A and B are shown apart, each in its own frame.
Chain A
Amino acid sequence: MPDPMRIRANMAGDKVEVRVLMAHEMETGLRKDASGKPVPAHFIQNVSVDHDGKTVLSAQWGTSISKNPFLHFRFKGGKPGDKIKITWVDNKGETRSDEATIAAAS
Chain B
Amino acid sequence: MRALAATVGAVALVFCASVPAQDKDVTQREIERYRELLAEGNPADLAEAKGEELWKTKRGPKQASLERCDLGLGAGVVKGAYARLPRWFADTDRVQDLESRLVTCMVTLQGFTEDEAKKNPFSAPGRGSPIEDIATYVAGASKGMKFAPPLEHPKELEAFRTGEELFYRRAGPHDFSCATCHGDNGKRIRLQDLPKLTDPKEAQKVFTTWPAYRVSQGSVRTMQHRLYDCYWQMRHPQLDYVSEASIDLQVFMAKYASGGTVEAPGLKR
Write the chain B residue with the least CB distance to A42.
B126
A21, B45: Cβ atoms under 8 Å?
A: yes
B125, A21: Cβ atoms under 8 Å?
A: no
Tell me the bound Cα distance from A6 to B40 in angstroms: 12
A76 lies within 8 A of chain B by Cβ? no
A76 to chain B, nearest CB (A): 21
Write the chain B residue with the least CB distance to A3.
B46
Of the listed stretches A45-53, A54-62, A64-72, A89-97, name the one at the interface; the rest are far from the partner chain.
A64-72
B218, A6: Cβ atoms under 8 Å?
A: no
Contacts of A103 in B (CB 8 A): none
Contacts of B6 in A (CB 8 A): none
A25, B126: Cβ atoms under 8 Å?
A: yes
A41 lies within 8 A of chain B by Cβ? no
A68, B43: Cβ atoms under 8 Å?
A: yes
Write the chain A residue with the least CB distance to B215.
A66
Write the chain A residue with the least CB distance to B45.
A6
B114 to chain A, nearest CB (A): 27
B73 lies within 8 A of chain A by Cβ? no
B152 to chain A, nearest CB (A): 39
Pairs across A and B, CB under 8 Å, 25 listed: A3-B46, A4-B49, A6-B45, A6-B46, A19-B41, A21-B41, A21-B42, A21-B43, A21-B45, A21-B46, A23-B43, A25-B125, A25-B126, A27-B125, A33-B125, A39-B125, A67-B43, A67-B218, A68-B43, A68-B46, A70-B40, A70-B41, A70-B43, A71-B41, A72-B40
Those 10 A-B pairs whose CB atoms lie nearest each other, nearest first: A70-B41, A68-B43, A23-B46, A21-B41, A67-B218, A6-B45, A21-B45, A21-B46, A68-B46, A21-B43
